[in-house]
């Protein structure tokens, strides 16, 4: 697929950074679960944490396709860095950029784009995951401000976020679509606690933790956009986030494929490389075909967003297909490597564990199918 000069330059920058700086540490930080603070700061210095933030707010002002290319390149090497970048750009910066006022953008986006702090997004609760409208966190008016009580789960970048944009019920009578509002909560607000980091199957170096809010008092200007519009804001934010998760899945799949292909050329069995065996060739062909289809779906969704056109269905398709492709490709890569695929000497077992998140986060595969089906039926 043709890329313009700027897109090629940004992709090259991300590729060099991933190969030179992330590849040497990816296995170690997966093993330890250590948050890679130094390389995250470097991402900020390179502009990778402000990719879609306009220049007037300290960002790069790149298009969505360039952003997807960056996430893809990071994920080829390290799923944790890809997720840190994706969650910060799409879920952290995205809602403030799209729905915040100029004062909120000036306050939060320049430092976030420079990597001085990350931004996070709080939607999921114990009873509100796929059912995003099941929010139980509440925000009650007190004077000119609000008092927030509740909790959130699975918050990426939680300990390193300067602020979290989260949903809370402000008008129970308004129901899901008119009763939920969005708020920007600074991390140092009294009563706001980031709990212990989760110990995860994959993307282990990314920071994921629950949040607790006990009588958190927020000023009036903490409200993001209009009261009662939080559910709509977050659904739109998730559409954009699904493009980045599709790109992450695409990168993980590509990294696993390249490892398996290269291994098949050097592994000798029965007197010749296993790449000469039809069974291996067929697996590689299937892997490459699904990767290319995922790339086309992902880039198409990104280009539709850049063109200002509707892309919700296409983002769902890209995220669904790319995430399930990542699981398929990583599984086949492990099979091609055999015993070596099952141990940590090669990266495919790590990529396999990282890929599983892509079928869950920002809407499970089952939710994507619902989104796609409803869109198709509405067209009828």
Q: Over the stretch 286-344, which tens digit does the pLDDT of each residue have? A: 999 999 999 999 999 999 999 999 999 999 999 999 999 999 999 999 999 999 999 99
User: Is this model's pTM higher than 0.85 or not?
Assistant: yes
Give which of 97, 375, 76 is closest to 240, Cα–Cα. Answer: 97
Which residue in the list 72, 73, 349, 362 is annotated as catalytic?
362
Q: Region 163-169: what's the mean pLDDT?
A: 97
Q: From CA 354, how far away is CA 361, in angstroms rounded?
A: 11
Buried b (16+ CB within 10 A) or exposed e, 272-302: eebbeeeebeebbeebeebbeebbebbbbbb
Q: From CA 156, how far away is CA 357, in angstroms rounded?
A: 12
Tell me the two tokens of residue 193: 């606690």
pLDDT tens string 104-156: 999 999 999 999 999 999 999 998 888 878 899 999 999 999 999 999 999 99
- Check whether 378 has a pLDDT greater than 90: no
Judge whether 125 counts as a catalytic residue. no
pLDDT tens string 342-361: 999 999 999 999 999 999 99
The residue with tokens 């990816």 is: 26
- Classified as helix, coil or strand, 48 is coil
- Classified as helix, coil or strand, 46 is helix
Number of Cβ atoms within 10 Å of the Cβ of 200: 17
- Check whether 379 has a pLDDT greater than 80: no
Grade residue 226 by pLDDT with cuts at 50, 70 and 90. very high
- Check whether 380 has a pLDDT greater than 70: no
């Amino acid at each position: 697929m043709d890329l313009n000069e700027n897109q090629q330059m940004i992709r090259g920058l991300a590729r060099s950074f991933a190969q030179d700086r992330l590849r040497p540490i990816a296995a170690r930080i997966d093993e330890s679960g250590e948050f890679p603070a130094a390389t995250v700061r470097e991402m900020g210095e390179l502009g990778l944490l402000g990719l879609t933030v306009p220049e007037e707010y300290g960002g790069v002002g790149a298009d969505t396709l360039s952003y997807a290319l960056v996430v893809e390149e990071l994920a080829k090497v390290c799923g944790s860095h890809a997720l840190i970048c994706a969650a910060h750009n799409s879920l952290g910066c995205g809602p403030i950029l799209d729905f915040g006022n100029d004062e909120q953008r000036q306050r939060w986006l320049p430092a976030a784009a420079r990597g001085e702090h990350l931004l996070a997004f709080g939607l999921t609760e114990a009873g509100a995951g796929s059912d995003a409208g099941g929010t139980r966190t509440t925000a009650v008016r007190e004077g000119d401000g609000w008092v927030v009580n509740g909790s959130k789960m699975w918050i990426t970048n939680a300990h390193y976020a300067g602020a979290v944009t989260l949903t809370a019920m402000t008008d129970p009578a308004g129901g899901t679509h008119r009763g939920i509002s969005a708020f920007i909560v600074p991390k140092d607000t009294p009563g706001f606690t980031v709990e212990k980091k989760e110990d995860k199957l994959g993307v282990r170096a990314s920071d994921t933790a629950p949040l607790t809010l006990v009588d958190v008092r927020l000023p009036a200007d903490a409200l993001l956009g209009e009261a009662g519009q939080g559910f709509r804001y977050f659904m739109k934010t998730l559409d954009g986030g699904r493009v980045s998760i599709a790109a992450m899945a695409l990168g993980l799949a590509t990294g696993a494929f390249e490892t398996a292909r290269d291994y098949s050329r050097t592994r000798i069995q029965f007197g010749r490389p296993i790449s000469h065996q039809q069974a291996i060739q067929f697996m590689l062909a299937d892997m490459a075909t699904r990767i290319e289809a995922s790339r086309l779906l992902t880039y198409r969704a990104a280009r539709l967003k850049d063109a200002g056109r509707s892309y919700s269905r296409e983002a769902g398709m890209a995220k669904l297909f790319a995430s399930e492709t990542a699981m398929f490709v990583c599984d086949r890569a492990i099979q091609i490597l055999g015993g070596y695929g099952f141990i940590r000497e090669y990266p495919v077992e790590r990529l396999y564990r990282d890929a599983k998140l892509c079928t869950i986060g920002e809407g499970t595969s089952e939710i994507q199918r619902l989104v796609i089906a409803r869109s198709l039926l509405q067209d009828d």
